[in-house]
Amino acid sequence: MTAMYIADCLDVNSQGHLTIGGRDTLELAETYGTPLYVMDEGEIRRACRSYRRSIEKYYDGKGMAAYASKAFCCKALYRILEEEGMGADVVSAGELYTAQAAGFPAEKLIFHGNNKTVEELSMALEYGVGRIVVDNLTELHTLDALACATGKHPGVLLRIKPGIDAHTHEFIRTGQIDSKFGFALETGEAMEAAKAAAASRSLRFLGLHCHIGSQIFDIHPFVLAAQVMIGFMAQIKAEAGVELRELNLGGGFGIKYIPENDPVEYDRYMQQVSAAVAESCAQTGLATPFIIIEPGRSVVGSAGITLYQVGEVKKIPGIRTYVSVDGGMCDNPRYALYKSDYCFVAAGKAGQPKTCTVTVAGKCCETGDLLGENVALQQVQPGDILAVLATGAYNYSMASNYNRNPKPPVVLIGEDGKDRLIVRRETMDDLVKNDLD
């Protein structure tokens, strides 16, 4: 299976080299060094457009696609999102600050988090963030008091656990009752919060939010979640006397990491969920709310790859072959955390068959620092460039300086085929800049 089956932006050129956005990955590695994240702007913009089009098509434009910044954020990305008419969800002062630094419109920001600090809430109020998704009663009271003291009237959604158990890795599943995120329906706390929000004179209680998990391949849990949420909106109308205008259904749409993955086409997801929304609203007598969706992974995941240089190739007879690269869990902790699948390609031999089965190891001082085990790869030797595909989401954003490895840079291949550095490589000075003598 060749690279292009994973993402539209990938291909193999006449020299048999892997390309992204039409650019030879060996040349990019030569120019910028390794490890290197490369992202394709066209792929990101196409994903944004498909979400925006679905909002037009299925909700008459009465909705918003808000990119989940946690998947990958930097100033250049916020500029692309703004040009594409996207909103964005932020989940920390740092993401908010980055959006602000890029001049991203405050009213299109949604502020999430299960334990927002007073400083973060104050920052959100000051910037005029369009929606704050309140996670718990402590936060509701804190925000109410802050809004009252500053004379602000923030738009508020309540994060609800719809009780849906989406089939995904247990660490990235969030919709069930045993989750640190949001208000449970079963215990009555969600209704208590709704009544408190409705009674507040400072908060504008706009609606509800749910997010059932990530990397989900099924439509059904999304449909169920929409039904549960609209049912609860109807209950709020009956018991608290407010008809909520907005429903944020979160993100979570799966992407293709390996050829065997079969993600739902966004359009089918949008079509079926919008049908469920319309039907539930008709049944409960509610007007169709303004719908928000929050895709993260599916906007940037397939648009990115990581390029490494192969160092040691260690053959342990009868056991396995370790191919070590010059990065690892410090730039991509997903295999160490979730045993995530990835597709590996020897960038200079992308046209050749994968005849070897190897374990790809990082350079961190940790046995579990692996990027994949028993993966198919072309024959490689020290000095070769190895590409890991579909690393655009939750790689750079989850990178660390473990072992004081500097974070790799991010290069964007524009729609015109030109490369542009959008995040520079960390330097040794960056690593010691906070150390005091």
Distance between CA 214 and CA 167 in Å, rounded?
9
Give the span between the Cα atoms of 14 and 20, in whole angstroms. Answer: 14
Q: Is 226 left (phi over 0), alpha (psi -120 to 50) or beta?
A: alpha
Nearer to ligand LLP, 63 or 295 (CB): 295
By CB under 6 A, which span of 186-194, 220-228, 291-299, 371-379 interacts with ligand LLP? Answer: 291-299
332 touches ligand LLP by CB under 6 A: no
Whether 365 is catalytic is: yes
Size of the site for ligand LLP (CB under 6 A): 20
Q: Which of 76, 146, 172, 421 binds ligand LLP (CB under 6 A)?
A: 172
Cα gap 112→215, rounded to integer Å: 19
Q: Token pair of 287, please?
A: 């007007």
Q: Which is nearer to ligand LLP, 154 or 296 (CB)?
A: 296
* Cα-based distances in Å from 432 to 400, 409, 427, 435: 14, 18, 9, 5
Site for ligand LLP in 37-96 (CB under 6 A): 68, 70-71, 89
Residue 306 interacts with ligand LLP (CB under 6 A): yes or no: no
Within 105-124, which residues bind ligand LLP (CB under 6 A)? 112
CA dihedral 83, 86, 92, 93 (to 10 degrees): 40
Residue (277 or 347) nearer to ligand LLP, CB: 277
d(CA 207, CA 204): 9
- Interface residue with ligand LLP, options 116, 334, 354, 363 (CB under 6 A): 334
- Residues 181-220 touching ligand LLP, rule: CB under 6 A, are 211, 214-215
Find the shortest distance in angstroms from Cβ 345 to ligand LLP.
21
Output the smallest distance, CB 322 to ligand LLP, in A: 24
Convert 163-180 to b/e letters by CB count within 10 Å (16 or more is b). bbebebeeebbbbbeebe
Return the structure tokens found at 349: 């031999």
* Cβ distance to ligand LLP smaller for residue 251 or 263: 251
- To the nearest whole angstrom, how small is the minimum distance from the Cβ of residue 293 to ligand LLP? 9
Residue with tokens 């390309």, as numbered in its chain = 19
Q: Which stretch binds ligand LLP (CB under 6 A): 24-32, 44-52, 246-254, 381-389?
A: 246-254
Stretch that binds ligand LLP, among 5-13, 74-82, 140-148, 288-296 (CB under 6 A): 288-296
Q: One of 73, 148, 330, 365 is an active-site residue; which one?
A: 365
Give least dist CB 35 to ligand LLP, A: 18
Q: Which of 84, 95, 246, 294 binds ligand LLP (CB under 6 A)?
A: 294
* 133 residue type, one letter: V
Quick one: which segment of 141-149, 218-226, 230-238, 292-300 binds ligand LLP (CB under 6 A)?
292-300
Terminal CA-CA length for the chain: 53
Binding mask 373-412 for ligand LLP (x = CB under 6 A): ---------------------x------------------
CB of residue 222 vs ligand LLP: minimum separation in angstroms?
A: 11
Minimum distance between the CB of residue 158 and ligand LLP, rounded to whole angstroms?
13
Q: What is d(CA 121, CA 124) in angstroms, rounded to the nearest whole number?
A: 5
Q: Is 337 in contact with 406 (CB distance < 8 Å)? A: no
Query: Contact with ligand LLP (CB under 6 A): which of 162, 295, 372, 408?
Result: 295
CB of 172 to ligand LLP, least distance (A): 5
Per DSSP bridges, beta strands 18-20 and 10-12 are antiparallel
DSSP assignment of 145-182: HHHHHHT---EEEEEEE-----SS-GGGB-SSSSSSSS
Task: Give which of 114, 115, 90 is closest to 101, Cα–Cα.
Answer: 90
Q: Which of 155, 182, 207, 251 contacts ligand LLP by CB under 6 A?
A: 251
| 252 binds ligand LLP, rule: CB under 6 A | yes
Q: Which of 78, 253, 266, 308 binds ligand LLP (CB under 6 A)?
A: 253
CB of 299 to ligand LLP, least distance (A): 8
- The rounded distance, in Å, linking the Cα atoms of 40 and 58 is 28
Report the C-alpha gap between 299 and 295 in whole angstroms.
6
Q: 10 Å Cβ neighbour count for 339?
A: 11
CA-CA distance, 232 to 269, in Å (whole number)? Answer: 22
The residues carrying an active-site annotation are 365
**Footprint of ligand LLP (CB under 6 A):** 68, 70-71, 89, 112, 172, 211, 214-215, 250-253, 294-298, 334, 394
